[in-house]
Structure 1
Amino acid sequence: METGSSPDPLATCQAGKVTETLVEQALAYRFDTLPADVIAIAKQCILDWFAVTIAGCAEPVHGILLGAEHPGFEQNGYASVVGQAGRYTAQQAALINGTTAHALDFDDVNLSISGHPTAVIFSALLALAQQHGKSGKELITAFVAGYETACRIGQLLAPGHLARGYHATGTICTFGAAAACAHLIGLNPIQTASVLGIAGTQAAGLKAMFGTMAKPLHAGLAARNGLAAAVLVQHGLDGPVNIFEHGMGFSLTHSPDFNASKALGEPDQGFHIRNNLFKFDASCFGTIATLECIRQIKQERPIVASEIKKVAIHADRTVDSICNIQSPKTGTEAKFSLRQNATYALAGWDTGKAETYNDALANDKDIIQLREKVDVNLMDGWPPMQAKVEIETLQGQRYCALVDAGMPSMDLLTQSERLEHKFFQLASPLLGHVACKKLAGDISEFERLENLGVKESRGSARHPGSFPEVWL
């Protein structure tokens, strides 16, 4: 069924074994059969995760969670929190790292989810892999499994899930983390179906949180809850094995749409991860096309703010509930404002720097004056991440650019170079250049790491070959 117009959505929902098939697909991934480019993109996701998580340690939400979650041991090992020397339980690490990874809103996106997969899935997996001493190959394979599962579930419930006000990073990505963790610890199909069921009863996140610290908390909660679901099932807890077909399950309660064939079929590019979108601006992804339009226009003619008469932004109507705060008062709100981001770009501020998004600049009188010249026009039927920007100067000159930011890069080498630049820009101030270079090198050979565990041993705090904790 390809639309939400079925006269009997319950019958449609119950017609197939969607959960069972999703589980079969998730558990089928093996490292030796993953294409080279899929492995390369997965490692790019990991590098980007470290970049935004290390930088996110400076955000207030990181400190708040550290105050609430005191270090604690687990009998079978512990997990690391980025930026901290304390030894945390796996669930604590997943919560804090997941929230921190999304704190800057600088982490990657996939439009099949319309959310941020890596912040959730890798945060859960790293904590569990550290606790159980899993290898780099095992983690990468589980990451791909969770990533693909999240994208499939995103497609299953699109577009109605988001239209109802849910934040897919908090909802859909909980399932991705759950499937990834189930894969990592070797659960069987029935157990994994239960994991998805338990994840479903925890999956939550509302777009009403956008512009507050509760939005990145969605990512942390999703990581923790997905991990917890897998661990609970491993210890004998059971849950429903038909969470997506059940008449009172996740699908019918969270979306009017149930696109089983789209979810379970082969993705257009073979793997959803090939459509991963990295961010090079520290704002909501819905603002990226607008920022790129302004960059193109300014490359054609270096316009100064004093010359501008008016600016028109044309964007798909779906951004209205995502990044259309008209008059932001804080740096966090500014990340979710098309008008504010356009104003920053026009005024010459670097939106690739996290520090641009601060309360003082959001309330700067010159910024506000320029922002009043910017209008947002919502369009029907546009690609969701496309924008057109029209600028008219006081001299009567007109400039226009059209950009679709939803198109993934086909040049992985150039993308890798841009991500390395982003990594060093974000992480070097906290780690220093030497430590950053070592960490980046280790991530580039992630599949060679034999043991990610950080268990205590008599001779060493870490297993030989474990992931270097240079971020601590």
Structure 2
Amino acid sequence: MSFARELSRRALSIRLETVPEEAVHIGRRAFADTVGVALAGADAPYLDALEAVLECDAAPGQVTLWGRRGRRASMLHAALVNGTAAHALDFDDCSTTMGGHPSAPVVPVVLGLAEALDLPAGKALEAWITGVEVETRLARGLLPHHYEKGWHPTATLGVFGAAAAASRMFDFDEEQMATALAVTVSMASGLKSNFGTPVKPLHVGQAAHNGIMAALVTRRGMTANLEAFEHNYGFFNLFNGPGTYDADTILEGWDGQLEVLQPGIAIKQHPCCGSAHSAIDAALRIVAREGLLAADAIETIETRTHERRLAHTNRPEPRSGLDAKFSVQFLTAKALTAGRIRLGDFEDAHFLTPDVASLLPCITARAHQDADAYRGDVRVVMKDGRVFEDGASTNFGRGPANLMSDDELCDKFVDCAAASLGDKDAGDVYRAFLALDADTPIGPLMARLSGKGDA
């Protein structure tokens, strides 16, 4: 029996009527959070270029482009645009197991297909749970080597979550889903070398697009090698390498607790790379105790984060707002002097304020190899001799152990969506997401996301 078949059999065992209600509610929250950050990211200039290349205006389709001023596109093109928007601000939810962002490659798939095919919310929620379980369980057997090798798991594993979710939306049987996953093996990509550029969010759009593509061509009769994962030249051996993965771990425990429940989905509080959140939170602990620190009163700052995190966040001279999202130096300085990290901090025109610019040469970013890979420490030496130190261990966001409440998530959604929908309508749309039940039609809610302000 092929790995693709074994994985498909387990994925198809997930049924909305048998999963805990808590998992369904987490799915509703994931829909809202992903759409909210996509609405905030919908004005990214490279999305205009993407739409132009795809010629969306020349061939409008059935699926709403979130926050894109009333435009629609085909299922494939909408997945590409909405998926890219969902990761444009690096503010989407996270999974510690996956070492990436589970919902951004999957939510555009399930909501787009539900809109295009006139399917209810229950179908989309079941497909979301399936997609997230597939991508995170793949990560169980592939990380940390997969991540350390330089792959971007949100893309390279998220594409399988997207394909599995699309397979559920199309009611595939085991053979069809296995084929779609085998097709997807040849569609997986995403390199960490493009972190800090618009290509990183494009990875997510590509994963969503390719997941639907794999399901669509399978639906039309495409075949593939059902041993494409375990083949000598297959995904496991080429993307990881012999001896660096454990296929059995991926297939174990599907009759136990869902990944979406434990370790769960973490909601981001800070609109930047999750690998810097521990340093940010350590800095904010100092601010909570000492008050905001004036840049001209600081002598030196030292950060310590895990070597795996520092590898892509050691950016002492960020060149753009997007690059600054991946700079532990910039983010720590901003947290110490402003007391929070805001969406507006990364606007290219004025992201590098004079106080932060003056601090960047004073910051030393060091790596550690502690057992707690999420641990971050900050040490500040003031010019008057005082020393402030603190640390934090933030697993990319607020997860089950420190849950962000529905009200707090509403605040985040409104902050993200207000520019597109207006404050009142943003709040109404958020509440509509959290009120979704199995029979709720998705189409009317998606129509409210056009960004025309008439929700």
Whether these two folds match at TM > 0.5 is yes
Equivalent residue, structure 2, for 1:336: 326
Measure the CA separation in 2 of the matches of 1:336 and 1:468.
Answer: 31
In structure 1, C-alpha distance between the alignment counterparts of 2:357 and 2:403, rounded to whole Å: 39
Deviations 1:127-159 (A, max 9, x none): 112111111001000100000000011122111
Query: Is contact 2:287–2:339 with CA below 8 Å preserved after alignment?
Result: no
Question: Secondary structure of the equivalent of 1:31?
Answer: coil
| Paired residues of 1:175 and 1:196 also in contact (CA < 8 A) | yes
Q: Which moved more, 1:190-199 or 1:387-396?
A: 387-396
Alpha-carbon contact 2:4-2:179 (below 8 Å) kept = no
CA distance in structure 2 between the aligned counterparts of 1:86 and 1:339, rounded to whole angstroms: 39
Q: Which residue of 1 aligns with 2:201?
A: 216
Give, in whole Å, the separation in 2 of the partners of 1:337 and 1:358: 15
Which residue in the other structure is 2:218 paired with?
233
1:87 partner amino acid:
R
Secondary structure (helix, strand or coil) at the match of 1:141 reads helix
Determine the structure 2 residue equivalent to 1:462. none
- Within 2, Cα distance between the matches of 1:468 and 1:185? 19
Pairwise CA distance, 1:268: 12
Q: What residue in structure 2 maps to residue 401 of structure 1?
A: 390
Matched to 2:266, the amino acid is L
Of residues 438, 442, 458, the one that matches 2:432 is 442
Distance (whole Å) between structure 2 residues aligned to residue 386 and residue 135 of structure 1: 42
Tell me if 1:376 matches 2:365. yes
- Among residues 127, 143, 158, which one is paired with 1:142 in the alignment? 127
CA distance in structure 2 between the aligned counterparts of 1:92 and 1:56, rounded to whole angstroms? 17
Question: Is the CA contact (8 Å cut-off) linking 2:123 and 2:438 kept in structure 1?
Answer: no
**Contact 2:268–2:398 (8 Å) recurs in 1:** no
Q: How does 1:253-292 map to 2 (within 5 A)?
A: 253-256=238-241, 257-266=244-253, 270-274=257-261, 275-292=264-281
- Whole-Å separation in 2 of the counterparts to 1:311 and 1:305: 11
Cα displacement (A) at 1:74: 8.9
Name which of 96, 102, 106 aligns with 2:87: 102
**CA distance in structure 1 between the partners assigned to 2:305 and 2:404 by the alignment:** 28
Matched, 1:451 2:441: yes
Alignment of structure 1 residues 41-52 onto 2, 5 Å: 41-52=26-37
**2: CA distance, partners of 1:411 / 1:347:** 28
Gaps of 5+ in 1: 1-15, 454-465
Which aligned segments of 4 or more residues in structure 1 are displaced greater than 4 angstroms?
72-75, 411-414
Alignment-derived partner of residue 205 in structure 1:
190
Over the matched positions of the two proteins, sequence identity in percent amounts to 25
- What is the CA-CA distance between 1:386 and the residue it aligns to? 1.8
**Residue 133 to residue 268, structure 1, CA distance change in 2 (3 Å):** closer
Correspondence 1:23 to 2:1: no
Which AA in structure 2 matches 1:97?
A: N
Paired letter, 2:235: F
Q: Which of 21, 24, 35 is 1:39 aligned to?
A: 24
How many angstroms apart in 2 are the aligned matches of 1:467 and 1:142?
Answer: 18
Equivalent in the alignment of 2:302 = 312
For 2:192 and 2:254, the matched residues in 1 are separated by 27
Q: Is contact 1:80-1:88 (8 Å) kept?
A: yes
Contact persistence 1:328–1:362 (CA under 8 A): no
Counterpart amino acid of 1:124?
A: V
Q: 2:453 corresponds to which residue?
A: none
Distance 1:301-1:217 versus aligned 2 partners, 3 A rule: same
Match of 1:81 among 31, 54, 65: 65
Secondary structure (helix, strand or coil) at the match of 2:78 reads: helix
Name the stretch that deviates more: 383-392 or 44-53: 383-392
Tell me how far apart the structure 2 counterparts of residues 107 and 58 of structure 1 sit (CA, whole Å).
16
- Give the Cα separation in 2 of the matches to 1:388 and 1:262: 33
Deviations along 1:12-31, one digit per CA (max 9) or x if unpaired, are xxxx8433221111111111
In the alignment, the residues of structure 2 paired with residue 74 and residue 372 of structure 1 have an alpha-carbon distance, to the nearest angstrom, of: 50
Structure 1 residue aligned with 2:416: 426
Structure 2 Cα separation of the partners of residues 86 and 426 of structure 1: 19
After superposition, give the CA deviation of every residue in 1:217-239 in whole Å (9 maximum; x if it has no partner): 00000000001101110111011
**342-351 vs 49-58, greater mean Cα deviation:** 342-351
**TM superposition score normalised by structure 2:** 0.92
Post-superposition Cα deviations, 1:260-306, rounded to whole Å, max 9, x if no partner, equal 23322238982211221111111100111111111111111113323
CA 1:87–1:366: 2 relative to 1, 3 Å: closer
Correspondent of 2:315 among 325, 349, 356 = 325
Quick check: 1:389–1:401 contact (8 Å CA) kept in 2? yes
Matched-pair contact (CA < 8 Å) for 1:317–1:380: yes
- Cα distance change, pair 384–60 in 1 and its aligned pair in 2 (3 A): farther
Shift of 1:169: 1.3
Paired AA for residue 302 in structure 2 = A
State the shift of 1:373 in Å: 1.5
CA distance in 1, matches of 2:402, 2:54: 38
Kindly state the Cα deviation for residue 34 of structure 1 after the two structures are TM-superposed.
Answer: 1.2
Instruction: Give, in angstroms, the shift of residue 422 of structure 1.
Output: 0.4
Matched with 1:467 is 445
Kept in 2: contact 1:56–1:103 (CA 8 A): yes
Q: CA deviation at 1:243?
A: 2.4
How far residue 436 of structure 1 moved from its aligned partner, in angstroms, is: 1.2
Change (3 A) 1:121 1:51: same
Provide TM-score, normalisation by structure 1. 0.89
Bigger mean CA deviation after superposition, 337-346 or 61-70: 61-70
Aligned residue among 290, 295, 314 for 2:284:
295
Q: Provide the aligned C-alpha RMSD in A.
A: 2.1
Does the 8 Å CA contact 1:171/1:222 hold for their aligned counterparts? yes
Q: Provide the rounded CA distance (Å) in 2 between the counterparts of 1:412 and 1:159.
A: 24
8 Å Cα contact 1:297-1:401 kept in structure 2: yes
What code does the residue aligned with 1:390 have?
Answer: R
- Aligned partner of 1:420: which letter? C
| Cα distance in 2 for residues equivalent to 1:240 and 1:405 | 41
**Shift in Å, 1:72:** 7.0
